[in-house]
Amino acid sequence: MKQGRISQTALKVALGLITLSVKDDWSQRLPPDLVAITERLLLASGSPGYGPGLMRMSKQRWMIRVYQFQDRMMPGQWEGFGHRKVFMNQQVEAAIEQGARQVLVLGAGFDTLCLRLAPKYPEVRFVEIDHPSTSVAKARGIEKVGQPENMIQIAADLGERSLPKVLSEDGHWDASQRSVIVAEGLFQYLTDEEVRGLLTDAAACASPGSRIAFSHAIPGDRKLLSALVRLISEPWKSEVRSEDLPSYVDGTGWAMISDVDDDAEHGVERYGVAEWA
């Protein structure tokens, strides 16, 4: 990712969700308030071009065709974002109902999970971490939307500072509490070694019963997607088959609890959930 620049892929996910909300019944399927909050975050982010005109254009029905064309070239990189958001929301709510008292979202981008769920679960602590340039842009939006008291935003480059160090320096995270961690649309930007390092670090910040829900790229021939992500300096660096996840996470402190994700609607990304082992 280019230093000092807001993550273009984080912006792309957020904008794609706005168009998705005018397709079919997606406005009902997406978690409540996701689109309204995303729009306010994007407008306040200060990202060049992300003004009211683009928001209006993104809700035009003809934009659906533009995204559908793109989705055919890069399966899962539009409608898949909707499936991803629904999956992560369900996993986090299920974990909270089963006793998790902390939520940590890694590489949060313009994701709204913490902003939406923090007021609903005041007894739970919500923490999100992102690269400083994106985190600072999102903070401008959070100022407008209103920061829940039980939500903390941390700006940190996890490539430079380890997760345990970032969390202990911030001081709000309690590693002894049961937690649920989310890494959505993040692993593919790290090498396999970095993914396993991050999983190991995440396990060091968690306790028995904690979970991590994540998405990951699967192997495949995707020349267009590779060219595009290289163009915006956010190349994909890792991939793993859903079937291989048990051995992939082995030794990191987590054990897979989700089934093999063979849902083609998720496209080039698949989802998994692991429990602290």
Ligand X SMILES: C[S@@+](CC[C@H](N)C(=O)[O-])C[C@H]1O[C@@H](n2cnc3c(N)ncnc32)[C@H](O)[C@@H]1O
- Kindly tell me which of 104 and 186 has the beta carbon lying closer to ligand X: 186
Q: Choose which of 1, 34, 167, 205 interacts with ligand X (CB under 6 A).
A: 1
Among 20, 37, 145, 158, binds ligand X (CB under 6 A): 158
Angle at 73 between CA 69 and CA 78, to 5 degrees: 65
269 is an interface residue for ligand X by CB under 6 A: no
Per CB under 6 A, 31 contacts ligand X: no
Using the rule CB under 6 A, which residue among 46, 51, 122, 159 binds ligand X? 159
**Is residue 104 within the footprint of ligand X (CB under 6 A)?**
no
**Three-state SS across the chain?**
CCCCCCCHHHHHHHHHHHHHCCCCCHHHHCCCCHHHHHHHHHHHCCCCCCCHHHHHHHCCCHHHHHHHHHHHHCCCCCHHHHHHHHHHHHHHHHHHHCCCCEEEEECCCCCCHHHHHHHHCCCCEEEEEECHHHHHHHHHHHHHHCCCCCEEEEECCCCCCCHHHHHHHHCCCCCCCCEEEEECCCHHHCCHHHHHHHHHHHHHCCCCCCEEEEEEECCCCCHHHHHHHHHCCCCCCCCCCHHHHHHHHCCCCEEECCCCCCCHHHCCEEEEEEEEC
Residue from 125, 131, 222, 266 binding ligand X (CB under 6 A): 131
Site string for ligand X, 180-219 (x = CB under 6 A): ----xxx--x------------------------------
Number of residues that bind ligand X (CB under 6 A): 19
Contact flag: residue 170 with ligand X (CB under 6 A)? no
- Residues 6 or more apart from 91 whose CB is under 8 A from it? 180, 182, 211, 213, 273
141 touches ligand X (CB under 6 A)? no
In the bound complex, what is the minimum distance in angstroms from residue 31's beta carbon to ligand X? Answer: 12
Inter-axis angle of helices 79-97 and 113-120, nearest 10 = 30
Q: Is 7 in the site for ligand X (CB under 6 A)?
A: yes
Does the protein bind ligand X through residue 42 (CB under 6 A)? no
Q: Does 266 bind ligand X (CB under 6 A)?
A: no
Considering the rule CB under 6 A, would residue 236 count as an interface residue with ligand X?
A: no
CB of 8 to ligand X, least distance (A): 9
Q: Which of 130, 239, 261, 269 touches ligand X (CB under 6 A)?
A: 130
Residues 46-85 contacting ligand X, CB under 6 A = none
Rounded least distance, CB 230 to ligand X, Å: 14
Binding site for ligand X (CB under 6 A): 1, 7, 9-10, 13, 107-109, 111, 130-131, 134, 157-159, 184-186, 189
